[in-house]
Amino acid sequence: MNRGIYTVKENRALTDSVFLMKLEGDTSSITAPGQFINISLDGFYLRRPISICDYDDKEITIIYKTVGEGTLAMSRLAAGAELDVLCGLGNGFNVAKCGEKPVLIGGGVGIPPLYNLCKKLISLGKNVTVILGFNTNSEIFYKDEFSALGADVIVTTVDGSCGVKGFVTDALINIDYDYFYTCGPMPMFRAIEKTASAGGQYSFEERMGCGFGACMGCSCKTKYGNKRICKDGPVLDREEIVW
């Protein structure tokens, strides 16, 4: 983990409520896809944890949804603004367990951390399928970006306005895979747990205080004792999760 001042290079809307931000700064503490950053915003007491969508040696891309006053304030930041950021938090996904035909399953704003994971897996020569779940066509983002990486992309919408009608599990039951990675809301996780036929990893979304394991505010029970989502997670293996 490192703390530093990062400069907003780009901040733009992808949909009515989902925004993409690029930050310039030190990325040396990022070691695995699925890690996150914690952003301090003027006028707000707690930092905002946001998953890392992609990164290189000098820039981080994040995608976030405006769900409260903090993220709304983020959406109004212009290029050149400076932010106090804790970078390289969490454990990230373990790509060593991926098998040959991994499937990546994302729901809404759980999709962004799967992008860099997809890039890593394809660079390893894996045959990657990505399932992106949304409520309706107007909410869809990053479908083309995943396709451009070389993944087989399946979109599901609850109302059937694009792709497979229904939920991510309605697509999951019809594909061949030997491992899964997923990030999204808890109801989606519970449905996947009942449907998945292989091992996998879940990246949990949780309210956090500090973001690096000091406050114990995001602890959860596992089969191997209590773990902190911000420090020991956000990624947990399927076999250790207590549902």
The answer to whether 109 and 65 have CB atoms below 8 angstroms apart is yes
Residue 148 has what DSSP assignment?
H
The answer to whether 173 and 106 have CB atoms below 8 angstroms apart is no
The answer to whether 52 and 131 have CB atoms below 8 angstroms apart is no
How far is it, in rounded angstroms, from Cα 60 to Cα 204? 21
Question: For the chain, first and last CA: distance in Å?
Answer: 30
pLDDT in tens, 144-176: 999 999 999 999 999 999 999 999 999 999 999
Q: Name which of 50, 70, 63 is nearest 13 in CA terms.
A: 63
Q: What is the pTM of this model?
A: 0.94
As separate numbers, helices (DSSP H) first and strands (DSSP E) second, the chain gives: 5, 15
pLDDT in tens, 34-80: 999 999 999 998 899 999 999 999 999 999 999 999 999 999 999 99
How far is it, in rounded angstroms, from Cα 126 to Cα 120? 9
